Amino acid sequence: MSKESISVFDIFKIGVGPSSSHTLGPWRAALRFVETVKAKGIDKVKHVRVLLYGSLAKTGQGHGTDVAVILGLCGEDPVTFDVNEITPRIKQIGVEKLMNLNGEKQISFDPAHDVVFLMNESLQYHPNALTFLCAFEGGEEIAETYFSIGGGFVVKEGEEGGSGDFVHLPYPIEKSEALEAACKETGMSISDVVMENEKTWRTEEETKAGVLKIWHVMRDCIYRGCHIGGELPGGLKVVRRAFGLNKKLASEKPYSNFDEWLQVIQSGKQTFQYTLDWVSCFALAVNEENASFSRVVTAPTNGAAGVVPAVLMYFIAFCDGNDDEKIVRFLLTASEIGSIFKKGATLSAAMGGCQAEIGVSSSMAAAALTEALGGNVKQCLMAAEIAMEHHLGLTCDPVGGLVQVPCIERNTMGAIKAITASQLALQSNPETARITLDDVVNTMYETALDMNHKYKETAEGGLAVQVPLGLSEC
């Protein structure tokens, strides 16, 4: 694995659902290609075409890959674009057969013919590949190929990594062993080490403000998802459950905003079942929003976007964690664990199955919760190891090629496993542990390499074969 300098804002990215590798990644790739086109002169562009390979082709319609690349070519930003405008914009382009390239030049573009799904072709570097073709007036043609390698990270053909230029950090962490050594040498916590590294890019105040912005998007996603009912788009007719569960748990108590809602949650009977139901509700809410092309945060992916927010909400609602400093530390710690998996294995379900998404998110949340609850560094790493150990081999088998079944429920399982892993680590002596986090990272990657391709986000195996792809409508 190549060395990378990964920031908390590389692991946690604001974007649009339903998939970081199939939606956000291709969207960002399109934006990068537009920059190449701009350098050559957008006013000279005659035609643009997009070729989707491998997993992007096989499950691309269910994941909105075609929608993402079109919006990226239009120059829209996934962080700020109004998600309510996605469907109208795409319909307009489809009807008019015209695209406003980067918002600067209108060109002919027919989504049905100019976004090509090459179901039986894959490129060697990574299953998530796409090629942009552009023809200019005068006959010049250019082509660029990109790989969406998981978690919204994008690599152009010929590049390495996926998180931008390498920078020298005061504490370069490639493995958990190095993280533990840095903490031992300095006496700092994991979140302290991460913050010191983040100062390479920006001030501590800027980092804290940015992390809180990440949390606010997560928070708003949870709240929004708990208050929208009906069915999810896509043709599977999956009923949104967070709405009904929230209504039942809140017992019709009045509230009008997030803070009041939090007070209602905290005022309920503090039983194990009550707490468990709320954690499930939080996770369901996020991933039902994700499946609805709403605003979410990769954590570290969109398919696993509900785990970290659900566990953080558990900490806030039930563990006296409603404090900005505690929230920032929680997310900083979580990001470092995600970074270790990114560097040592993969965050891509198309490469490693769902263990690379739900497994990693559960591991991130377990370590973060452990530090937040007073655990030492060794206990944090132990919690991360426990959480992933019990996700090893988890396949990615989306029914109908949609991030709905079994993806949404898996976020509830990942959140609960994270909390359990944290409690186990807090009640254990990590000095006696036989397996390290690095051991489990290596095992996850080896398992990914051995896993049959049909269990890697192709909708060709596992639960996915119970419902033919033809029943899904994007």
Instruction: With CA atoms as reference, report the closest residue to 76 among 30, 20, 37.
Output: 30
pLDDT at residue 301 in the model = 97
C-alpha torsion 22→349→328→315, nearest 10: 120
Let me know: does 68 contact 407? Beta carbons within 8 Å: no
Separation between Cα atoms, residue 218 and residue 313, nearest integer Å = 10
For 405, the token pair is 């079944």
Instruction: For residue 49, give the amino acid letter.
Output: R
pLDDT at residue 380 in the model = 98
In sequence order, the β-bridge partners of residue 45 are 136
pLDDT at residue 342 in the model = 97
Low-confidence ranges of the chain (pLDDT < 70): 1-2, 160-165, 467-474
Let me know: does 441 contact 345? Beta carbons within 8 Å: yes
Instruction: For residue 131, give the amino acid letter.
Output: T
How far from 96 is each of 15, 109, 319, CA to CA, in Å? 27, 9, 54
Instruction: With CA atoms as reference, report the closest residue to 403 among 117, 13, 14, 19.
Output: 19
Let me know: does 69 contact 29? Beta carbons within 8 Å: yes
Instruction: For residue 361, give the amino acid letter.
Output: S
For 245, the token pair is 């569960």
How far from 430 is each of 379, 420, 448, CA to CA, in Å? 6, 15, 27
Burial 45-82 (b: 16+ CB within 10 A, else e): beebbbbbbbbbbbbbbbbbbbbbbbbbbbbbebeebe
H/E segment holding residue 131: strand 128-136
Domain ranges of the chain: 15-156, 176-468
C-alpha torsion 173→175→179→180, nearest 10: -160
pLDDT tens, 161-199?
544 457 899 999 999 999 999 999 999 999 999 999 999
Let me know: does 375 contact 425? Beta carbons within 8 Å: yes
Separation between Cα atoms, residue 45 and residue 58, nearest integer Å = 29
For 408, the token pair is 């949404």
For 276, the token pair is 């468990």
Separation between Cα atoms, residue 207 and residue 191, nearest integer Å = 12
In CATH, which of 1.10.357.10, 3.30.1330.90, 3.40.50.2300, 3.40.50.720 is domain 15-156?
Answer: 3.30.1330.90
Let me know: does 382 contact 425? Beta carbons within 8 Å: yes
DSSP state letters, 152-169: TEEEETT---SSSS----
pLDDT at residue 466 in the model = 82
pLDDT at residue 159 in the model = 82
Residue for token digits 């390979």?
53
Let me know: does 283 contact 296? Beta carbons within 8 Å: no
pLDDT at residue 161 in the model = 52
